[in-house]
Amino acid sequence: TRLWLRSESNISVIENGSDKTEEFKGIALRALEATVTDDELRARLTPTHPFGCKRLVFATDYLQTLTKPHVEVVSSPARTLRSRS
């Protein structure tokens, strides 16, 4: 019961259009703008879906990692899946 109550108390964070959702969305977008200076990469990393619809990433170095020169962000869908690819 405690776990359920705890999770339910945080539901406004993922409720589309709620004040909490907009607050967290703003925080996330400001972090993206402050960390990713490349306009093209930042555009590819900016979500087009409502905040909370996909898994949230709570890592502190996630965005910095994506800006490293040896990292390539692939945003196109996979065309095939093979057992050894």
What is the pLDDT at residue 3? 63
Q: Whole-angstrom distance between the N-terminal and C-terminal Cα of the chain?
A: 44
**What is the distance between the alpha carbons of residues 50 and 21, in angstroms, rounded to a whole number?**
9
Residues with Cβ < 8 Å from 42, sequence gap 6 or more?
Answer: 32, 33, 36
- Within 10 Å of residue 60's Cβ, how many Cβ atoms? 8
18 Cβ neighbours under 8 A, 6+ residues apart: 12
Q: Is the pLDDT score of 16 beyond 70?
A: yes
28-72 pLDDT, tens digit each = 899 999 999 999 999 999 988 877 777 777 788 989 999 999 999
Which tokens sit at 1?
């019961």
State the Cα–Cα distance between residues 41 and 57, nearest whole angstrom.
18
